Chain A
């Protein structure tokens, strides 16, 4: 390891790795944004990466590094040893974009990564900090790309036409001149595929699930958290055990029972089943919160002549509104996203939930921009709720351990 504790060795090595990462990222980004063909080149990355790693030790000003690298990268992009190869028919604009984009993403982070590294031998601290900064940078690029690309592709695909999709699967530019025509898939889904009704069904089933879940789990959670009775400990533990039963195992007998009683294919059946899948989670999250509330306030209420139920209604619930909000949000999300039971129990298109409706779009006759438009319609409401109430969400998720 000690061999590497020298900035003249570590600098170029990190530079080469960083150049490879950045060249790939920039090439993918430019391909997606412009639709033209870009690809990373190994030789160019080796040369410019090593150079940047050495130069960053000499030139501490990031902008000078970027400027120098830009000139080199643009010049090299016309040769065979370019860090990012640009297809032959592309104009100078594409070369400039690739060159400057690459230089910017290589030069500036390299000067940050090697910040504080002297020339020559490094101490263990300096070396590890440089490596950590390199890994951090890589992490940001990696995670952001991994998370964003599927969602980006989902949205962009839904805005395209069949012809465009087949012509170039890499081209995610949007032809803005089409105006409202861009949203044709959405319009068709609502007009011909009954998505308005699916949306409404999903919405009210989710709301009903939240209400029923709360109505069942609030008293239960209060009893487990506050009241003393035999079996309290065992009960609060075995709630967790219900998490451990796979849904598909329950779905099979439920399917049989519903087929025999005629509840299959009915909204009532779905509304009966969904809350039971969420009650244990809600109960577990709520009892954790109730335990944290001061018992003295409730005792004061009892002394003043309130009954237990009145205490719950007038004291405990108003105090636990934040917890109720996060539990409701979480339960809403589970019910909205639920797929398996809806898929098995609903066959009649007039009663589909949104997820079941999207599953029915998955056939070779239906163009895939419709499928993606359906996916966007299902995703946007949860995302909006989630981003708006993210604080509640993360707190609720970490409050009780939660089912995935």
Chain B
């Protein structure tokens, strides 16, 4: 008699299932690879490169072709070749063109080959900003005007190899050295910390308060809940510009209101003064994202068993005691999850500050600094270096996140 032994390893069915799973996941994984992983690697690469915005347009040869002296005895085709870059040489230039029917080349210059009607010329090197002119005498037995049109409408093809900074073997630590040397860097770190810490705590506390308000049945509860979600749902660009106009120092309603109520005599430039601007963008962040925490906290509150509160009532607990000793411990899980998520997202936030202040008046956070370095100062390498600093911070946060969060709530 043989005893049944459970099969070991993966059977054919399990293998087929795994194959299907990877097949179904393939499109997602491929696109994420292409748009997330690849750019992340690229950022590290670029951060060690001396790249400017202008370097993105690689040096390329340009060519113009025309027929000269068409009405005279000795017409010739002229190719004018130019190096578009003022800094990089171009090597191995290949020019290829088709000579139209009815045009006869009298002489093929050195470096050029004519096969039937196809002309191919090769040059070794073109200096930065260098030019090259090629003149080929031709004979046109037939209609010279038609030939001229044929020659000038048919564009020659040209190619060349130029060294691109992005792909070359040239590396530098300059980007990081400049970044850490600048005194501004530490104010940027300071602004980021302030914005992240206060924005996160603010959104959580305000969200908790809002959730407490709406955690009871009454008429109009649905309407209020919808209304309180507005800041989160509306396009950031719309609300950011509304805030700018509301707090405008010259014609904003808030300043007019404050002056009318006698709080201040002069208009306050809310988004233009240090340190007020940083406080204002943090307040904006709280205003815009409290709905998210409010929604999650409310959902959690509504799932708390009411029996517990009834038992507490019997024991004579006061309302504040019930909140402190019953609700708050039940909410700790969702609060810590929200804290970690919001902390990272606030740290990553770019558009809000960019739209409100453009990073001026002491509101430049790390993410805004990426844009500032890469595009405003057109130093892509420095921008990438800031991005690398961001990624390193995020790695630390994620470590923290996986360490503590997985225990808290089943995320």
Residues of A within 8 A of B (CB): 24, 27-28, 31-32, 37, 39-40, 124-125, 128-129, 132, 136, 139-140, 143-144, 146-151, 153-154, 157, 165-166, 168-170, 172, 215-217, 219-220, 222-224, 227-230, 232, 235, 237, 240-250, 252-254, 256-257, 259-260, 273, 275-276, 279-280, 283, 308, 333, 336-337, 339-340, 344, 354-355, 358-359, 362, 368, 371-372, 374-376, 378-379, 382-383, 386-387, 390, 393-394, 397-398, 401-404
| Closest residue of A by beta carbon distance from B374 | A252
| Closest residue of B by beta carbon distance from A344 | B375
Q: Which of B39, B227, B253 has the most CB of A within 10 A?
A: B253
Name the B residues within 8 Å of A245 (CB-CB): 36, 40, 348, 391, 394
A382: contacting residue among B235, B370, B397, CB under 8 A = B235
A275-B214 Cα distance, complex, nearest whole Å: 35
A224-B20 Cα distance, complex, nearest whole Å: 11
Residue contact A140 to B289, C-beta cutoff 8 Å: no
A139: contacting residue among B210, B260, B320, B398, CB under 8 A = B210
A35-B39 Cα distance, complex, nearest whole Å: 53
21 A-B Cβ contacts within 8 A? Answer: A27-B261, A39-B261, A150-B242, A168-B256, A170-B253, A215-B27, A223-B20, A223-B24, A232-B21, A244-B401, A245-B36, A245-B391, A246-B348, A246-B367, A273-B35, A308-B20, A358-B241, A382-B235, A383-B230, A390-B225, A404-B292
Name the A residues within 8 Å of B347 (CB-CB): 246
A230-B10 Cα distance, complex, nearest whole Å: 10
A271 to B: closest C-beta gap in Å: 12
B234: contacting residue among A237, A242, A340, A379, CB under 8 A = A379
Which chain B residues in 109-129 approach chain A with CB under 8 Å? none
| Closest residue of A by beta carbon distance from B405 | A240
Name the A residues within 8 Å of B31 (CB-CB): 216, 275-276, 279
B133 to A: closest C-beta gap in Å: 29
B241: contacting residue among A37, A128, A375, A398, CB under 8 A = A375
Residue contact B238 to A246, C-beta cutoff 8 Å: no
Residue contact A220 to B24, C-beta cutoff 8 Å: yes
Residue contact B25 to A140, C-beta cutoff 8 Å: no
Residue contact A276 to B46, C-beta cutoff 8 Å: no
B338 to A: closest C-beta gap in Å: 8
A14 to B: closest C-beta gap in Å: 15
B45 to A: closest C-beta gap in Å: 9
A362-B238 Cα distance, complex, nearest whole Å: 11
A252: contacting residue among B17, B25, B383, CB under 8 A = B383
Interface 9-mer from B70-78, B98-106, B139-147, B244-252 = B244-252
| Closest residue of B by beta carbon distance from A245 | B36
Name the B residues within 8 Å of A333 (CB-CB): 233
Residue contact A248 to B350, C-beta cutoff 8 Å: yes
Residue contact B28 to A217, C-beta cutoff 8 Å: yes
Say yes or no: is B243 at the interface (Cβ < 8 Å to chain A): yes
B20 to A: closest C-beta gap in Å: 6
Say yes or no: is B166 at the interface (Cβ < 8 Å to chain A): yes
Q: How many A-B residue pairs have CB under 8 A?
A: 273
Given the known interface contacts A252-B374, A376-B238, the answer about A157 and B35 at a Cβ–Cβ threshold of 8 Å is no
A295-B349 Cα distance, complex, nearest whole Å: 40
B312 to A: closest C-beta gap in Å: 12
Name the A residues within 8 Å of B242 (CB-CB): 150-151, 153-154, 372, 375
Instruction: Known pairs A40-B261, A147-B227, A372-B241; list 4 more (Cβ under 8 Å).
Output: A151-B242, A223-B25, A244-B397, A249-B43
Given the known interface contacts A220-B27, A372-B242, the answer about A386 and B229 at a Cβ–Cβ threshold of 8 Å is yes
| Closest residue of B by beta carbon distance from A229 | B18
A344-B350 Cα distance, complex, nearest whole Å: 13
B88 to A: closest C-beta gap in Å: 15
Name the A residues within 8 Å of B166 (CB-CB): 256
Say yes or no: is B308 at the interface (Cβ < 8 Å to chain A): no
Residue contact B235 to A150, C-beta cutoff 8 Å: no
Say yes or no: is B287 at the interface (Cβ < 8 Å to chain A): yes
| Closest residue of A by beta carbon distance from B252 | A169
A-B residue pairs, 8 tightest by C-beta: A246-B348, A375-B238, A229-B18, A253-B39, A219-B24, A227-B21, A220-B28, A223-B24
Residue contact A240 to B299, C-beta cutoff 8 Å: no
Say yes or no: is B162 at the interface (Cβ < 8 Å to chain A): no
